[in-house]
A and B are shown apart, each in its own frame.
Chain A
Amino acid sequence: IGFDVGSCFGSDEIKALILRFLQYYSIYDSSDRQPLLDAYHDGASFSLTTPFSSQNPSSSLGEYHKDSRNLKRLKDPMRFRLLKHTRLNVVAFLNELPKTQHDIASFTVDVNTYTNTLLTFTVSGVFKEVVDGKSREPTMAFSRVFITVPAGNSLCIVNDHLFVRMATTEEIRKAFVAPAPTPSSSPVPTLTA
């Protein structure tokens, strides 16, 4: 059970398609998520879950926790209410979630299924909340399943599920450490360790 590897794309063609799709996050991380309407099918569904625990509800997960659709804890009518259905409802709901900054370098992608009519994949990684344009602690981790249908040379989302939890110490250590662009103005010679 120890043989863990990174992303599992299936083929280069699918990889290119998904990497292009992941520009989704540049809109998701912007101040307005409304343009995501273009990414969803009219009959799209969305729901989210957070881990069930007795932890302090005032933690950052609280914003997600109140909408967590955990069938093990919820009965009707909440089960139905927390499943967002139709494109307008999904994007309106996403627009209300806390603003975010995702660490694209942390992403792992697993392709679950690929047919002529559907591409399902799971994206995992870490993100931070953004308040007044500044990212803030703590770091959170997510696992998100997209079910998409082909739309021209891109993908249209029909089902979307988001799982959010607090990041582990190890994930926090590795998060947001991708090298920043080298400042070109610096005349100081760099030393390599």
Chain B
Amino acid sequence: MASTVDFRTHVDQSCRYSEEFVNIYYDCMDKKRRNLTRLYLDKATLVWNGNAVSGQEALAEFFESLPSSEFQVLTSDCQPVHEQATQGQTTLLVLTCGLVKFEGNKQRYFNQNFLLTAQASPNNDQPVWKIASDCFRFQDWNS
């Protein structure tokens, strides 16, 4: 349980998990888009420039509709989410900012944040992280 681990250890672990996740997520987004929904919980929600997309099927359809991408992450940060908010379920808030070029579009800056929850993994002592929610916006979305 997170509460019995000291906060510093918890923060250190969170940073490592977060960095791993960020690498996997954008690599998948750019190169293995078909596998991307595997990173999401069944009932996950994505809010993309103010549009909500929920559930595996809708997410798959949405990602299919996006042109191919080249993401470049410039900053990332991460916080362990307080357990009172998650009923003890280990959860991380992961935040990124960077540049993205969608094919046929100009390169734009974006901000994105994720809530990741730890899923127990039967044959591994490391948890498997799944996206519970994802919020994406272009920085210049309203210009």
Residues of chain A at the chain B interface (Cβ within 8 Å):
1, 3-8, 10, 41, 43-45, 47, 49-52, 68-73, 76, 79-80, 83, 85, 108, 110-113, 117-118, 120, 122, 124, 141, 143, 145, 147-149, 158-159, 161, 163, 165, 168, 170-171, 174
Contact = CB atoms under 8 A, between A and B. Distances in A.
B78 to A, nearest CB: 6
B86 A118 contact: yes
Contact of B50 (A7, A83, A120, A159): A7
Given A1-B66, A4-B49, A122-B113, A47 B77 contact: yes
Contacts of B86: 117-118
A110 B115 contact: no
Given A1-B49, A72-B73, A112-B134, 18 more contacts: A3-B49, A3-B51, A4-B141, A7-B50, A45-B80, A47-B79, A51-B74, A52-B74, A71-B15, A72-B76, A79-B15, A83-B79, A111-B47, A112-B115, A143-B137, A159-B82, A161-B79, A171-B143
Interface residues on B, range: 35 or more
Contacts of A45: 79-80, 82
A36 B82 CA distance: 18
Contact of B82 (A6, A113, A158, A170): A158
Contacts of A110: 47, 50, 135, 137
A5 B49 contact: yes
Interface of B: 7-8, 11-12, 15, 18-19, 45, 47, 49-52, 66-67, 73-82, 84-87, 93, 95, 97, 102, 105, 109, 111, 113, 115, 132-135, 137-143
Contacts of B77: 47, 49, 69-71, 161
